A and B are shown apart, each in its own frame.
Chain A
Amino acid sequence: MSDGFDVQGFARDIHELLVLAALRDDAKHGYQIALDVETESNGQFTFRHGTLYPILHRLEGEGLIQGSWSTAGGRRRKVYALTRAGRGHLDGRTDHVQRIVSGLMELLRGPGQAPA
């Protein structure tokens, strides 16, 4: 790929963007992020086998989301919120993914075919 597109990292990028998008409006717990992604994508994207946590912790390490602990009903819980850097990353990467998907669809459908 001339623009350096990493095919293997694409799925990971998508999952990261789904998490960032789920946090666009509100801070949420891990389970809420997983539920929202599944619900809003009509079940097309699901997090299984704990794949959510490496993504959350990696995004937190990169400063794209911020985790904070609070206590509710005597229980400690961790809530994640989108940072300014995360919002910028989400916008930039969304455009990037859109270009890739458009190019991919064009390739799959063949030149001159209108989108379905």
Chain B
Amino acid sequence: MSAGAVRPFLPALRRLEARLSVPVTRRVRLLRELEYDLEELTARFVDQGMPQPEAQARALDALLPDGDALRELGGLHESLYRRFGRRFGPTRLRGIERGALAVATAVVLAAEAAALLRADLLAHASPFLWVVLGFGAALFALAATSAFSLWVRKDPDVLERGPRGLLAGSALTLMAGFVGAYVELSHVLGLLGRNPELVSDVGVAWLIRICTLLSTSITLALLGALAWFVLHQWLVVLATARARALGFDSSDPPNRGALS
């Protein structure tokens, strides 16, 4: 569609979109297909001598899907996962999804701990390290939920929800690491101030403890931010395609949730 072109069917397409429960990419394609057909059919009617308003009304009557057609389209374009998941029922499927997420999160948490154990960094770990690892597991759970909803379940309302919490979680992880490092550093400096002779015994151990805490929190926060960036960019692409199909200003997409 060329910029500035008159698009008389946008109000009808927007009303239709609100009732069309299919994944966003398929919804956008369907709306584009429909708009082209509506415009072309109207032009045909006008060429046959019909007044423009009547031609538009006839084209809408012929091509705009009604409730039954929308339901059928919804079923046809349902994601494979939803089609497969219908065998279990919504409650059972939700239970399976939560169970799988809990197991995956536990595995990631165990993998994080195992990596630190292999490097012999947990022997004298700061208690803050466990807080950071907990935030890391929560970040993984948030990213996995968003990615699953976007790419596997293909939720029709994915634009409204967006990858919420990932950036905040990353910031909290980073903050926990820095607060922990500050507390640990205050503690060791106080200890060494009172007992300067301990510097050779505890200095290196405390340095490793603080570096482990900081590097772990920074790594997990960066991974969380990276996951947010990828999901966010993907959603921006979807939101822009939807905005174009519906004639919204793409610099001001209506789906604030996706971009928050």
Does any Cβ of A come within 8 Å of B97's Cβ? no
Q: Which residues of A contact B (CB under 8 A)?
A: 29-32, 34-35, 46-54, 57-58, 61, 73-78
Q: Are B63 and A31 in contact (CB under 8 A)?
A: yes
Q: Are A50 and B33 in contact (CB under 8 A)?
A: no
Does any Cβ of A come within 8 Å of B66's Cβ? yes
A12-B41 Cα distance, complex, nearest whole Å: 23
Distance in Å: Cβ of A20 to nearest Cβ of chain B: 17
> B1 to chain A: which residues have CB within 8 Å?
74-76
> B156 to chain A: which residues have CB within 8 Å?
none
Q: Are B69 and A49 in contact (CB under 8 A)?
A: yes
Considering the complex, give the chain A residue whose CB is closest to the CB of B59: A31
> B61 to chain A: which residues have CB within 8 Å?
48-49
Among B72-80, B135-143, B250-258, the one that faces the other chain is B72-80
A29-B41 Cα distance, complex, nearest whole Å: 10
Considering the complex, give the chain B residue whose CB is closest to the CB of A74: B2
Q: Are A48 and B73 in contact (CB under 8 A)?
A: no
Q: Are B77 and A57 in contact (CB under 8 A)?
A: yes
Q: Can you spell out 18 A-B residue pairs with CB atoms less than 8 angstroms apart? A: A30-B34, A31-B40, A34-B62, A47-B62, A48-B61, A49-B65, A49-B66, A50-B34, A51-B66, A53-B34, A54-B69, A54-B72, A54-B76, A58-B76, A76-B36, A78-B29, A78-B33, A78-B36
Considering only residues 16-30 of chain B, those with a C-beta below 8 Å from chain A are: 29-30
Q: Are A57 and B73 in contact (CB under 8 A)?
A: yes
> A50 to chain B: which residues have CB within 8 Å?
34, 62-66, 69-70
Q: Are A46 and B62 in contact (CB under 8 A)?
A: yes
> B34 to chain A: which residues have CB within 8 Å?
30, 50, 53
- The contact of A34 among B36, B41, B64, by CB within 8 Å, is B41
A7-B212 Cα distance, complex, nearest whole Å: 72
A61-B72 Cα distance, complex, nearest whole Å: 13
> B65 to chain A: which residues have CB within 8 Å?
49-51, 53-54
- The contact of A57 among B2, B59, B76, by CB within 8 Å, is B76
Q: Are A35 and B41 in contact (CB under 8 A)?
A: yes
Asked whether A30 and B37 contact (CB < 8 A) given A47-B62, A49-B64, A50-B63, the answer is yes
Considering the complex, give the chain A residue whose CB is closest to the CB of B61: A48
A47-B59 Cα distance, complex, nearest whole Å: 11
Distance in Å: Cβ of A70 to nearest Cβ of chain B: 11
